[in-house]
Amino acid sequence: MWTLDEGLAIIRRIQPETRGYGYHLTLGGGVMNAGQSTKDLDLFFIPLDNRPEEADHAGMKELLDEEFGEGESLRDPHYEDVGLRLFAYKWEYNVDGKRIDVFIMRSHP
């Protein structure tokens, strides 16, 4: 289970670095809405400004892989058609047996 305190700790730890890539980091999903989730922790990366589409998504993936281990494309069928225009990338991580879903929003949907 993920708790709000755990989600906030992750955000506080990595947000200073994500800002260097031009992104603000926010919580979403059950942890944000209910204070906990048995399913996953949803992290949303929102562009700070109107960065061009060539934003350093590869750098963001590198940063997240360093932080959480090797991630892969989000395979949850619930999200298969969600945000095709809104999100540049959707990744899934497993940290100590707990899932983190990462959504990187496009600058220009």
The CATH number assigned to the domain holding 58 equals 3.30.460.10
Is the predicted pLDDT of residue 83 greater than 60, yes or no?
no
CB 21 within 8 A of CB 59: yes
Q: What is the pLDDT of residue 46?
A: 87
**Structural domain count, the chain:** 1
Domain of 53? Answer: 2-105
- Say what the pTM is: 0.85
Neighbours of 55 (CB within 10 A): 18
Residue-wise pLDDT for 48-72, tens only, equals 876 555 456 778 888 999 999 998 8
